[in-house]
């Protein structure tokens, strides 16, 4: 029997792994579930991903890249006529608006690095990527990293408590970090 040509199978398996984690959590991620979700033979998952950790790693890499691409779009859409703190509030509120399942999934994969050391470089890429984007708009690395940490912490708090992300509360915290810092406008 001839082998079927399927160049996108690996990517479909990664997307299936992300859906499985979204539905069943990290503990529910198995080769069998991913194969069923992707509608491929079980052997396909083990061919492309030798271990469950390999699947987890690929899922985190994919969601991290997608999240950073969204953050990059946000950064490019910043209106120079709007205070930067308001744009940061917009980023957080848009990330938490509507259905929060995607944000929960991203954080579940991100926090998996606490137990899976091999995932830590992927998680660090997300942290560093956000700090790099924020550094384009802040006077120094310390301010950019502090903002990234605050945004990350606020996301977790809002996801854990299901509270609404109130503009005034967020603005107050962000202003505390930004203080009198000179906000940078790229290209100047």
Over pLDDT 70: what percentage of the chain?
Answer: 93
pLDDT tens-digit series, residues 54-71: 999 999 999 999 999 999
CATH 1.10.10.60 domain span(s) along the chain? 7-50
Domain 7-50's class? mainly alpha
Task: Kindly report the three-state secondary structure assignment for every residue of 110-122.
Answer: HHHHHCCHHHHHH
Give the pLDDT mean for 136-153.
94
Residues 88, 71 contacting (CB under 8 angstroms): no
Nearby residues of 26 by Cβ (< 8 Å), 6 or more positions away: 56, 108, 109, 112
Phi, psi torsion values for 139, nearest 5 degrees = -75, -20
CA distance linking residue 178 with residue 138, whole number of Å: 8
Query: Could you confirm whether domain 57-178 is CATH 1.10.357.10?
Result: yes
Residues 15, 62 contacting (CB under 8 angstroms): yes
């Amino acid at each position: 029997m001839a082998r079927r040509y399927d160049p996108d199978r690996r990517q479909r398996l990664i997307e299936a792994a992300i859906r499985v984690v979204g539905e069943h959590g990290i503990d529910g991620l198995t080769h069998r579930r991913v194969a069923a979700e992707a509608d491929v033979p079980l052997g396909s998952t083990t061919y492309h991903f030798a271990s469950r950790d390999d699947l987890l790693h690929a899922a985190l890499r994919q969601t991290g890249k997608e999240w950073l691409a969204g953050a990059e779009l946000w950064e490019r859409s910043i209106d120079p006529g709007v205070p930067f703190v308001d744009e940061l509030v917009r980023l957080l509120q848009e990330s938490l608006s509507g259905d929060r399942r995607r944000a929960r999934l991203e954080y579940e994969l991100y926090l998996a690095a606490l137990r899976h050391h091999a995932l830590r470089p992927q998680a660090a890429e997300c942290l560093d990527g956000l700090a790099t984007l924020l550094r384009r708009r802040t006077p120094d690395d310390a301010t950019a990293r502090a903002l990234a940490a605050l945004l990350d912490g606020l996301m977790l708090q809002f996801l854990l408590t299901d509270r609404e992300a109130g503009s005034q509360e967020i603005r107050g915290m962000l202003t505390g970090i930004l203080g009198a810092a000179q906000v940078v406008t790229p290209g100047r």
